[in-house]
Amino acid sequence: MIQTQPIISEKSLSTRLIGEISGQEKGPTFILFGGIHGNEPAGILALERVFDDLKKYSLPIKGKIYGIRGNLKGLSARKRFLDHDLNRLWTNSNIPIIRNKAPEERSVEEAELMEIYALLKEILDTNTAPFYFIDIHTTSSRTVPFITINDALINRRFSRCFPLPVVLGIEEYLHGPLLSYINERGYLAVGIESGQHDAVEAVDNAISFIWIALVSAELIPASELPELKVHYHKLKNATYGNRSFYEILSRRELFPGDQFKMEEGFQSFEKIPEGILLAEHNGEEILAPKDSIIFMPLYQVLGKEGFFFIRKIPIWALRVSEVLRKFKWDNFFSLFPGVSWTANKESLKVNIKIAKFFRKPIFHLFGYRRGVLEGNKVVMSNRESKSKKDMYKHTAWFRRK
């Protein structure tokens, strides 16, 4: 039986900032988000407890820590969103449109976005590097805690600080997440899915993750946090020791007006056999096409993804991709027919009719992920070209092999 977490008070939702703590010494700037989705209160509750403890025990902090509440109106209504999914609005094309609207013309989530956008700009303008961004989420299905990241090496290396499975490449399937927007500006950005929406374990897992993250980013000395090993083993036990990396293979996409009902009992990272009944989608029974690993099955009304299929990435493939990216062997791609650079040389245009010999796994090795479709060309974006690696290269976690 799942023990449910307490409800967030309305008083707690009266301000955007959960907390803002400055250390005695200059150092990293650490920004944590909770409640970007209004039906996911665990991140808020976890951050409130961590900030209370930071103040109560006067831990020595090097740098600055921010805790930010996401969709205040959605959290108050206990709904994922009211007008638009706040975690699907963060695109380079969308934000200028929202900014140019009169305040009274903006939707609920557009107004929330503009407040968060202004706060982020102020934080980046007034604080020192390196910058860390953490977004705490939960899922509608039962799940072990796990990390989701855009596939940049800075994200991969920081993710290794945690005894959790890591899922790469979700940005290929989600349009406009907050962390993708941040990642495109070159900063480290990591998402944690800490458990099921209302489970108290989701709060506890998020708390453990935050403490490990603060120590790993060198804001708090490990010697000042005797509970660090307890937090580490808590997460390790919660995942049964699973620290593998995975990538997303496909998703069941949902559209407005679709009728979708997931069969009960599935949870993320569960191995499923070929032919098992997964869901009913617009009156059609959806069966597993082959033996697979299911990821983030949908058990709520709102959402655009019914479920994903994922696969484990071999360790050798991760190591090979690091070497390929380090020496920038992707510079040779433009020599092949059907492949050309965009004007800024940050993305590749791939003619899918000509360059049939290129498959997604090849591009993934080099750090490219599928972006927009322009006619018969696919634009592949490279996370490494925008990554501010120099900002993090002196940290212990980045240097660790």
pLDDT tens digits, residue range 72-84?
Answer: 999 999 999 999 9
Single out the residue of 302, 251, 273, 339 nearest to residue 77, CA to CA.
Answer: 302
380/207: higher pLDDT = 207
- Can you give the pTM of this predicted structure? 0.92
Q: What's residue 1's pLDDT?
A: 44
Sole residue written with tokens 């433009």: 334
Single out the residue of 80, 25, 24, 18 nearest to residue 44, CA to CA.
Answer: 18
Domain ranges of the chain: 12-243, 246-312, 327-386
pLDDT band at 19 (very low <50, low <70, confident <90, very high): very high
Q: What's residue 89's pLDDT?
A: 96
As to burial, measured by CB atoms within 10 angstroms (0-12 exposed, 13-18 middle, 19+ buried), residue 133 is buried
- Choose the weakest-confidence range: 16-20, 22-26, 144-148, 363-367: 363-367
Single out the residue of 46, 289, 264 nearest to residue 140, CA to CA.
Answer: 264
Q: Write down the mean pLDDT value for the chain.
A: 90
CA 148/CA 170 separation, integer angstroms: 7
CA 251/CA 269 separation, integer angstroms: 14
pLDDT band at 341 (very low <50, low <70, confident <90, very high): confident
Topology of domain 246-312, per CATH? OB fold (Dihydrolipoamide Acetyltransferase, E2P) (2.40.50)
Kindly report the backbone phi and psi dihedral angles of residue 27, in degrees, each rounded to the nearest multiple of 5, phi listed first.
180, -155
Q: What's residue 373's pLDDT?
A: 62
pLDDT at 352 over 90: no
pLDDT band at 133 (very low <50, low <70, confident <90, very high): very high
Single out the residue of 170, 155, 138 nearest to residue 246, CA to CA.
Answer: 170
Topology of domain 12-243, per CATH? Aminopeptidase (3.40.630)
